Amino acid sequence: MRVLIATLLLLSVTACGFVGFPGVYKINIEQGNIITQDIIDQLEPGMSRRQVRFILGTPLVEDTFDQNRWDYPYEIKLGDEIIRKAMVTVYFDGDRLVDVKGDYLPAWAAGAAETGTGTAETPAGDAS
């Protein structure tokens, strides 16, 4: 009888996580740097790392194997539901900004991406 009661008690406690409580308020959770088109439009080619850091903030991910790349992921969630997700990567040549890739692009980087004259490497034999 004690085993049955212990089992029912254990199952009732763990069931709360599966069912969820109706009317429970779930807060928005923002992770990463806030990224908007207005912020990205402030970037100009040739900017120093310090200027880029001032505009975009400290990068969430600094690649230890590629010091010339900074990643800026952003995600906002309501509970388990992702409301908005964005990713922007900036590339440097030494201390100067040379390229931006991701979900938001400044006009100068978007034009280069459309014409295929960006700094991104294309595989050998690719006719794009």
So what's the pLDDT on residue 121?
38
Number of structural domains (the chain) is: 1
Q: Is residue 126 in a domain? A: no
The yes-or-no verdict on residue 107 having pLDDT over 60 is yes
The yes-or-no verdict on residue 116 having pLDDT over 60 is no
Interatomic CA distance for residues 104 and 29, integer angstroms: 21
pLDDT tens, residue by residue, 26-56: 778 888 888 889 999 999 999 999 999 999 9
Average pLDDT over the chain reads: 79
pLDDT tens, residue by residue, 47-93: 999 999 999 999 887 778 888 999 999 988 887 788 888 899 999 99
Helix (H, G, I), strand (E, B) or coil at 125: coil
So what's the pLDDT on residue 113?
55
Q: Is residue 98 in a domain? A: yes
Q: Is residue 60 in a domain? A: yes
Dmax of the chain from CA atoms? 76
Q: Is residue 95 in a domain? A: yes
Q: Is residue 44 in a domain? A: yes
- E-only strand ranges, the chain: 28-32, 61-62, 69-78, 81-93, 96-102
pLDDT tens, residue by residue, 5-23: 888 877 776 555 555 566 6
- Mark 72-90 as b/e (b = at least 16 C-beta within 10 Å): bbbebbeeeeeeeebbbbb
Q: Is residue 41 in a domain? A: yes
Task: Give the CATH number, domain containing residue 109.
Answer: 3.30.1450
Interatomic CA distance for residues 93 and 65, integer angstroms: 15
88 lies in which domain range?
A: 24-114
Q: Is residue 2 in a domain? A: no
| Stated pTM of the model | 0.65
So what's the pLDDT on residue 37?
92
Q: Is residue 13 in a domain? A: no
